Amino acid sequence: MEKTVAVGFNEQFKEANETRCRYRVMKGTAGSGKSVNVAQDYIIKLQDPLYKGINLMVVRATEDSNQLSTFSELTGAIERFGLSSLWRVTTNPMRLKCKVTGNEIVFRGCNDTRAIERIKSVSFRQGKLCWIWIEEATEITSKAFDILDDRLRGILDNAHQYYQITLTFNPINAQHWIKHQLWDMNSPDIFTHSSTYLKNRWCDEAYKARMERRKLTDPEGYKVYGLGEWGNAGDNILSNYTIETVDKDITHYDAVLQSQDFGFTHANCILQVGYKDGDMYILKEIYEHDKYTNKLIEQATVEGFSKHILMYCDSAEPDRIAEWRNNGWRAYAVHKNPGSVAAQIDYLRGRKIHVDTACIGTAKEIQQWRWKRTSNGELTDEPLEVEDDAMAALRYATEPYRRKHRMRTMTKQSLGL
């Protein structure tokens, strides 16, 4: 059952697609073609009889986030190449199987214990797990990476088989573990690769023009997303955080509160925040686009947010606050006044912030939340207003302290604990 296919690859990925190094570390600007390239590369290889017996696990921070990204990139590649008849695609659970080789692709998350268990229990009807693709790899912890790395071991069946972990990402932060553990390592096991949208032959002029504008409005962001250079941590507003597994039992905290930044096209972010011995802990997060308030209320209830815990909300949307209140939630507007953002940030910079690994939106934003620069490159003391919805919710979570009132959060006593 042989079929010849004409496929389009960007020249800049040639070497990346050929390397057999154990680690294929691929940073790049936004729109450089990384995701499309890696998806195409896997589809072509996995249906090649040479690679029979090799299976692929695709990993993102959460399993669900594969659906609109890696899963659709891979199925899109199958369609573009006209290979639909050679692949069996299932959506629930997401799984792809090549009918020619029997090789399979499975999808996993890695940011909580249940997801890690699901990684450990991955099995295939035939062959071995040889390849792992970690998409948006800056979203995952180095601990999760080690667990994934551990999965690739044992004697392989033949010389064509090899173990490989591919990481694709934008280099958001020079302090990231990927930089010091992999990128800077200079080891024969590690293949590093940089790509740019300028060398993506499918990148249109409008996109290029948008990038040029970003150069002016957000020079530091342009460095990462336009030039593909490691982000400068000196511009970051917060560095006093860790991304780790956080205790979800609210009775273990001195106080717990909730906060919300409203959004629709922007993310709507709801956080549950615990305070203990002066440290802040982000226990839970809802980070959703295009969702109406009634749906968010349902989701918050299902996901263990509590009506009885005070929720500090963006004051710009009184109607939405009213809707939460009408549904029995203790939602209040934060007080905005000149200087309140600076005071909130001051508060946040003054303590340790522990972000649970499942709070992807917060983890992503906190690593790239940074100060604005003027057009001549000087740092200002104003935060840059891009992708800062979780950061707004985090600021609102400082409300009871900032206003120097008695902390109006939920104490154990008032919860009857």
Ligand X SMILES: Nc1ncnc2c1ncn2[C@@H]1O[C@H](COP(=O)(O)OP(=O)(O)OP(=O)(O)O)[C@@H](O)[C@H]1O
Burial per residue of 69-85, b for 16 or more beta-carbon CB atoms within 10 angstroms, e otherwise = bbbebbbebbeebebee
Minimal CB distance residue for ligand X: 35
Closest CA to 283 of 299, 263, 265, 303: 303
Smallest distance, Mg ion to C-beta of residue 72, A: 11
Report in angstroms how near the CB of residue 200 gets to ligand X at its nearest. 5
Q: Residue holding tokens 């840059």?
A: 384
Cβ neighbour number for residue 223 with a 10 Å cutoff: 19
The site for Mg ion, by CB under 5 A, has a size of 1
Comparison of 132 and 286: residue with beta carbon closer to Mg ion: 132
Indicate which single residue of 170, 236, 362, 368 sits in contact with ligand X (rule: CB under 6 A): 170
Helix axes 360-368, 389-396, angle to 10 degrees: 100
Question: What per-residue string of b and e applies to 333-365 under the rule 16 or more CB within 10 Å gives b?
Answer: ebeeeeebeebbbebbeebebbbbbbbbbbbbb
CB closer to ligand X out of 37 and 357: 37
Q: How far is the CB of 336 from ligand X (least distance, A)?
A: 33
Residue 12, phi then psi, degrees to nearest 5: -65, -15
Tell me how far apart the alpha carbons of residues 109 and 95 are, in angstroms, rounded to a whole number.
Answer: 14
- Asked if residue 30 binds ligand X (CB under 6 A), the reply is yes
Q: Which is nearer to ligand X, 133 or 396 (CB)?
A: 133
Q: Are 27 and 170 in contact (CB under 8 A)?
A: yes
How many Å separate Cα 276 from the centre of its chain?
27
Of these, 200, 259, 272, 409, which contacts ligand X (CB under 6 A)? 200
Q: Does 12 bind ligand X (CB under 6 A)?
A: no
Applying CB under 6 A, which of residues 21, 23, 24, 28 lies at the interface with ligand X? Answer: 28
**Stretches 25-33, 107-115, 154-162, 237-245: which one binds ligand X (CB under 6 A)?**
25-33
**Least distance from C-beta 73 to ligand X, angstroms?**
7
Choose the one of ligand X, Mg ion, none that binds residue 44, judging by a C-beta under 5 to 8 angstroms depending on kind: none
Within residues 36-95, the interface with ligand X by CB under 6 A covers 36-37, 40
CB atoms within 10 A of CB 216: 9
Least distance (Å) from ligand X to the CB of residue 402? 35
The piece of 23-31, 56-64, 125-133, 185-193 that touches ligand X (CB under 6 A) is: 23-31
Options 3-11, 230-238, 255-263, 353-361: segment touching ligand X (CB under 6 A): 3-11
In angstroms, the CA 275 to CA 285 distance is 16
Assigned token pair, 70: 């890696």
259 binds Mg ion (CB under 5 A): no
Binding mask 6-35 for Mg ion (x = CB under 5 A): -----------------------------x
Q: Does 387 bind ligand X (CB under 6 A)?
A: no
User: Strand locations in 152-296, DSSP E?
Assistant: 164-169, 190-195, 241-244, 255-261, 268-276, 279-288
What backbone torsions phi and psi does residue 123 show, to the nearest 5 degrees? -140, 160
Other C-beta atoms closer than 10 Å to the C-beta of 257 total: 24
Stretch that binds ligand X, among 4-12, 360-368, 389-397, 407-415 (CB under 6 A): 4-12
Beta-bridge partner residues of 98: 87
Decide whether 35 or 268 has the Cβ nearer to Mg ion: 35
- Count of CA atoms in the C-beta half-sphere (13 A) of 358: 19
Interface stretch with ligand X, choices 27-35, 93-101, 119-127, 310-318 (CB under 6 A): 27-35
β-pairing, 353-356 with 241-244? parallel
Selection from ligand X, Mg ion, none that 170 binds (CB < 5 to 8 A by kind) is: ligand X
Instruction: By CB under 6 A, name the one of 79, 184, 202, 328 that touches ligand X.
Output: 202
Binding partner selected for residue 10 from Mg ion, ligand X, none, CB under the kind-specific 5 to 8 Å limit: ligand X
Q: Show the CA angle centred on residue 368, arms to residues 362 and 371, nearest 5°.
A: 120
Binding of residue 8 to ligand X (CB under 6 A): yes
Nearer to ligand X, 192 or 260 (CB): 192
- CB closest to Mg ion, residue no: 35
2 secondary structure, DSSP code: -
9 binds ligand X (CB under 6 A): yes
How many whole angstroms separate alpha carbon 103 and alpha carbon 45? 10
Stretch that binds ligand X, among 32-40, 242-250, 308-316, 393-401 (CB under 6 A): 32-40
Binding site for Mg ion (CB under 5 A): 35
Binding site for ligand X (CB under 6 A): 8-10, 28, 30-37, 40, 170, 200, 202-203
